[in-house]
Amino acid sequence: MEIEILNASGSKPLGKIVVNEGTTIKNVKDKIYQTVKKSLAPNRQAIRLDAKGKTLKDEETLGALNIRDGAKLYVKDLGPQISWTTVFLAEYAGPLLIYLWVYKRPWILFGTTTEEPGIVASVATACWSFHYAKRLLETIFVHKFSHGTMPLRNLFRNCAYYWLFTLYVAYHINHPLYTPPCNTCFYVGLCGFIFCELGNLSTHILLSNLRPPGTKVRKIPMPDNNPFSQLFNLVSCPNYTYEIGSWLFFTIMTKCAPAGLFAAAGCYQMSVWAILKHKNYQKEFSNYPKGRKAILPFIL
């Protein structure tokens, strides 16, 4: 059967492709690239039934979508793309290197100083470095991405967020006039940070193991024998819960206001993501546990 392809912007006809009912949306993207518009790589395309409609999933078939001979499909150009792996590596390498740069070369920001970093500043550097080194390793060896790419323009926004906040936090904690907190705050913050980091790592590994390699299979995440995974009994996104906890305890450990702002900004953004994921879980799985909240047990 023959399908007409139109540009989602302005509904301008681009050409026609020959397909069958078993053709997937991914196959449609390949055919558009091969026969209709060479400049429109498959990862730049969003295929829709209507110009402003919902983007169709790659694995959906034309038959399942009730698309017949002579039908029309609209393609939106998403712009230049970049892989999620590359995005994460760029986002997380920056904070690691910038924080270590400020810690090891404070004179670049503060001028000549003979003072050695204090215990709190040194431990904070180790914690910050551990967190982002963990993220880099998770990106390479643990994470499995549902979407292969994202718009290139988002890379600069994302990197600016992480890199500039890192510079802001590192500047204050490594400042010659920095005043460390009391011992109780330091030890409580350090122990809480380590606990939450282990919980975050455990959650990422569990989520990765849910999806067989090379597939986009989605399952309801459930706790296993790892005690850190028990938080799944209360929330849909314990990885975000642990992440918020890490930065909350880091703030307590350092008594640094910029670290608190970083924790608050992260809490807001991760709450938005968690609520969306929670709703998607409820929509996709009819037997999804009803007692779970999105990110904060019993609250949100």
> Could you state, in order of their start, the residue ranges of all structural domains in the chain?
2-79, 83-284
HSE toward the beta carbon, residue 18, CA cutoff 13 A: 0
pLDDT in the model for residue 267: 97
Q: What's the pTM value of the predicted model, to 2 decimals?
A: 0.87
Q: Cβ contacts of residue 96 below 8 Å, gap of 6+?
A: 128, 129, 132, 133, 136
Average pLDDT over residues 219-234: 95
pLDDT in the model for residue 276: 96
Average pLDDT over residues 8-23: 89
What's the alpha-carbon Rg for the chain, to the nearest Å? 24
Q: Cβ contacts of residue 276 below 8 Å, gap of 6+?
A: none
**Element (DSSP H or E) covering residue 243:** helix 238-254
CA distance 79 to 76: 9
Q: Binning pLDDT at 50, 70 and 90, where does residue 59 land?
A: confident
Three-state SS sequence of 101-154? HHHHCCHHHHCCCCCCCCHHHHHHHHHHHHHHHHHHHHHHHCCCCCCCEEECHH
HSE toward the beta carbon, residue 292, CA cutoff 13 A: 25
pLDDT in the model for residue 114: 64
Paired sense of beta strands 13-18 and 2-7, if any: antiparallel
Task: Name the range with the highest mean pLDDT among 77-91, 215-229, 241-255.
Answer: 241-255
CA distances from 19 to 1, 5, 23, 24, 116 (A): 5, 12, 6, 9, 69
Return the CATH number of the domain spanning residue range 2-79.
3.10.20.90
